[in-house]
Structure 1
Amino acid sequence: MNDNKFDLTEGREKLKEIVDKIDVGMICTFPENSDYPHGVPMSRQEVDDQGNIWYICSADSDTHRNIEKNDKVSLFYADAKNYTFLSINGTATLLRDQARIDKYWNKFMESWFEKGKDDPNIRLLRVDPTDAHYWDSDSSKIGTFFTMVKNMVTGDHSDLGKEGDLNV
């Protein structure tokens, strides 16, 4: 794999590209008095120009309660079909901003919040990434597999894709 280096703007663009492509990632919070993280799948609402990733969550959720006590989070995005993966560590902030809730609101949200977009339990969750690492193949899973087999047979070390730290 190539090890790519990105400047701040390129790093944020690459992060946004992968998160937007995959959409649903696992967000891991760290419960008090537990040796293990608590992970839940969440759909991102937006990756803003500063590289912050926005979600909507409930004030009644374990995720919300965990972040109130420990603002450190880890995010994991995986698209196994295209061999694209992203690992992010960051700091979470819980907010209540009705204008932003209105911006993100859609019909799907109604299944989570019965009282609609004015539900008092709706919270915005903003993740400010502190570091990120990606793995990205230029071909499909099948293409990567054949490159691996060819490398094994020929002893060649052809490139299987790219990976690197993202400056975020």
Structure 2
Amino acid sequence: MGDKTLTAAEAEKAFWDSLKKSNTGMLGLDQPGYHSQPMTAFRDEETGVIWFFTRDDTDLARDAAVGSGQSAMFTYGSKDQNVWACVHGELSVHGADRNIIDRYWNPVLAAWYPEGKD
């Protein structure tokens, strides 16, 4: 995007549009000493929610499950290097929410979960 200054709405649109094409970034809890990890983002532009899938036994899932949600940060850079973003929000665990799983299930997720959706 060069030196162009974007309005908040333009920046948000550029982010969502870019996330459609390239949906990998770094996700971590916003805590001292916590390391981010590469994750695939599944976007819901209507609600502004970004979904991530991970196994229940990962540090990220266990730590995010504490309380009602944890402060998190998703760092993103588009493949063409025109969009860079650091998105702060709340990360919470939705367990085996079948509606979410069915909505976003695809061959990429299936490769990470050879046992299937369950």
TM superposition score normalised by structure 1: 0.57
RMSD of the alignment, in Å? 2.2
Query: Between Structure 1 and Structure 2, which shows a larger proportion of helix residues?
Result: 1
Aligned to 1:87: 86
8 A contact 2:24–2:41 mirrored in 1: yes
Q: What's the secondary structure of 1:72's corresponding residue? A: strand
- Taking the aligned partners of 1:81 and 1:103, their CA distance within structure 2 comes to 28
Residue 15 of structure 1, CA deviation: 2.8
> 1:5 maps to what in 2?
7
Could you say what secondary structure the match of 2:92 adopts? strand
More strand per residue: 1
Residue correspondences, number: 113
Partners in 2 of 1:26 and 1:98 — Cα distance? 25
Which ranges in structure 2 are unaligned for 5 or more consecutive residues?
none
Larger Rg: 1
Whole-Å separation in 2 of the counterparts to 1:30 and 1:62:
14
Show structure 1 runs of 4+ deviating over 4 A: none
2:74 alignment partner, SS class? strand
Identity across the alignment (%):
22
Can you give the 5+ residue segments of structure 1 that lack an aligned partner in the other structure? 119-168
- Structure 1 CA distance, aligned partners of 2:15 and 2:23? 12
